[in-house]
C-alpha cells in the first residue's frame, strides 16, 4: 500500500508544481491591455479579410500525419533491433524476424499507397510555377 501512497504523492506534486508556477506568474506579470495585443499575429503579416474565406492546402496536414506515422515506427523498430540477436538465439531466425518483417511490410504498403494517391508529392501553386526560372 505504501507504493500507492508514493505514486499518489508524486502525482499530487506533479500537478501542484505547474499550477503553482502558473498562479505565481499570473500574480507577478504586468498587465498592459492594448488593442495591438489582442490582434491576430500571422508571422508579422497584417491579417486581411476573414479567416473563413482562406482555403488551406490539406497537403501540409498529410505530410505531418505521414511524418508522425513513420516517426512513431522507430519507437517499435529500435527496441527490436536491440534484442534481435538475443531473440534469434532463443526463438530462431524466422520467429524473431517474421513479426518485424510483417510490420515493416505493412508500413511499406502504407507508404506505397500514400505515394500512389499523391499524399507525398508536393503541390506547387500556379504562381510558383510562373515564377520558376529554368
> Contacts from 17-22 at CB under 8 Å and sequence distance 24+?
none
* Cα 54 to Cα 3, 13, 88, distances in angstroms: 54, 44, 55
Q: Which residue has better confidence, 46 or 75?
A: 75
pLDDT at 124 over 90: no
Q: Which domain holds residue 88?
A: 2-130
Q: Identify the CATH number of the domain in which residue 62 sits.
A: 1.20.58.1610
> In the structure, what pLDDT confidence band is assigned to residue 8 with cuts at 50, 70 and 90?
very high
Q: Which residue has better confidence, 104 or 33?
A: 104
| Residue pair 123/55 in contact by the 8 Å Cβ criterion | no
How many structural domains comprise the chain? 1
Cell of 42: 500571422
For the chain, how are helix, strand and coil distributed in percent, rounded to 5?
70, 0, 30
Amino acid at each position: 500500500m505504501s507504493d500507492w501512497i508514493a505514486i499518489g504523492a508524486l502525482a499530487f506534486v506533479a500537478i501542484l508544481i505547474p499550477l503553482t508556477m502558473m498562479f505565481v506568474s499570473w500574480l507577478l506579470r504586468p498587465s498592459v491591455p492594448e488593442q495591438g495585443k489582442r490582434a491576430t499575429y500571422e508571422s508579422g503579416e497584417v491579417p486581411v479579410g476573414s479567416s473563413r474565406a482562406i482555403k488551406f492546402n490539406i497537403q501540409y496536414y498529410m505530410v505531418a500525419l505521414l511524418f508522425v506515422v513513420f516517426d512513431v515506427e522507430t519507437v517499435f523498430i529500435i527496441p527490436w533491433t536491440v534484442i534481435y540477436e538475443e531473440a534469434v538465439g532463443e526463438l530462431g531466425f524466422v520467429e524473431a524476424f517474421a513479426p518485424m518483417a510483417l510490420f515493416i511490410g505493412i508500413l511499406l504498403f502504407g507508404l506505397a499507397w500514400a505515394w500512389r494517391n499523391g499524399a507525398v508529392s508536393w503541390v506547387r501553386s500556379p504562381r510558383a510555377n510562373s515564377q520558376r526560372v529554368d
